[in-house]
């Protein structure tokens, strides 16, 4: 066998040994145990406390708000979409108060005119629609249609 081939084979063998040795150190023990991922991540994730309480939790104490919301166009929105993750509040209402300061830019996250939204979705041009005024002056967040403005 020519000497240059012997050298090449030695380099390849050394490379393969190095890859296997590094793999031994780098791949976590539980990798491949259940699939192509680290199995020990499952108990780690499961141990995390949920930060969202879910719609049903809010309904228990805020039935009045739910009643208003159900009749309006925001009926499909979950409370925590606007009020933020509120599991700590639901567990102990006096400990924390959910977020309520929604300015124009927050409403416009969903309502700014955008051609990619579904046809018929209520949209406004944020630079023209009653500019500089707080949306809540005319639209109640729990029942936003302007003709229902007297409700919450």
Cα separation, 96 vs 80, in Å, equals 14
User: For residue 108, what are the CA distances in angstroms to 121, 126, 129?
Assistant: 13, 7, 11
* DSSP output for 7-50: HHHHHHHHHHHHHHHHHHHHS-TTBTSSSSSBTTHHHHHHTSPP
CB of 69 to ligand HEC, least distance (A): 5
Q: How many CB atoms neighbour CB 27 within 10 A?
A: 11
Stretch that binds ligand HEC, among 7-15, 22-30, 34-42, 91-99 (CB under 6 A): 91-99
Is there binding between residue 67 and ligand HEC (CB under 6 A)?
Answer: no
Q: How many residues bind ligand HEC (CB under 6 A)?
A: 53
- Cβ proximity to ligand HEC: between 44 and 150 the closer is 150
- What is the smallest separation between the CB atom of 95 and ligand HEC, expressed in angstroms? 10
Residues in touch with ligand HEC (CB under 6 A): 53, 57-58, 60-62, 65-66, 69, 73-74, 76-77, 79-83, 86, 89-90, 93-94, 97-98, 100, 102, 104, 106-111, 121-124, 126, 129-130, 133, 135-139, 141-142, 144-146, 152
């Amino acid at each position: 066998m020519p000497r240059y081939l012997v050298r090449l084979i030695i380099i390849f063998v050394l490379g393969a040994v190095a890859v296997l040795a590094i793999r031994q150190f780098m791949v976590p023990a539980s990798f491949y145990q259940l699939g192509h991922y680290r199995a020990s991540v499952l108990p780690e994730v499961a141990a995390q406390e949920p930060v969202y309480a879910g719609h049903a939790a809010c309904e228990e104490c805020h039935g009045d708000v739910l009643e208003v919301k159900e009749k309006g166009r925001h009926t499909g929105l979950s409370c925590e979409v606007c009020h933020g993750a509120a599991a700590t509040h639901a567990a102990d209402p006096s400990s924390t108060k959910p977020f309520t300061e929604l300015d124009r830019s927050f409403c416009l996250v969903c309502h700014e005119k955008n051609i990619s939204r579904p046809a018929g979705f209520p949209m406004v041009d944020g630079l023209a629609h009653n500019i500089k005024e707080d949306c809540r002056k005319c639209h109640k967040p729990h029942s936003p249609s302007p003709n229902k403005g007297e409700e919450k």
